[in-house]
Amino acid sequence: MLHRQLQNALEEIFGTQFVEEALAQSELAQEVIYDRPKDFKQAVLGFQRLSFRDEQQRYAAGLETGMGIALICALLDEPTRELVWELGLNYI
């Protein structure tokens, strides 16, 4: 149930099509996270500090495509979540 609510919220923020396409590209997400952990951390922390949907949508629109995919997969895709945990990026 919580997973579905999170996916619905991300679809509102990023758009349904982008979330679906992101989940189909989990390997790209994992590459981005592995290759650029500091940038990924900044993207996550920047997104987490926003409270209002319009702020989140503006932030999402400004993210590099690969970083947006990484953020979505880190929240919704189990193998990507495992990579985040293995790398010690436990700020999510």
pLDDT score of 90: 72
Residue 2 banded pLDDT, cuts 50, 70, 90: low
Report pLDDT digits (tens) over 12-36.
Answer: 999 999 999 999 999 999 999 999 9
Question: Helices (DSSP H) in 1-92: which residue ranges?
Answer: 2-14, 16-23, 26-35, 37-48, 53-62, 65-76, 78-86
Q: Residues 6 or more apart from 32 whose CB is under 8 A from it?
A: 40, 66, 67, 69, 70
pLDDT score of 91: 66
**Is residue 8 pLDDT above 90, yes or no?**
yes
Report pLDDT digits (tens) over 33-92.
Answer: 999 999 999 999 999 999 899 999 999 999 999 999 999 999 999 999 999 999 888 766
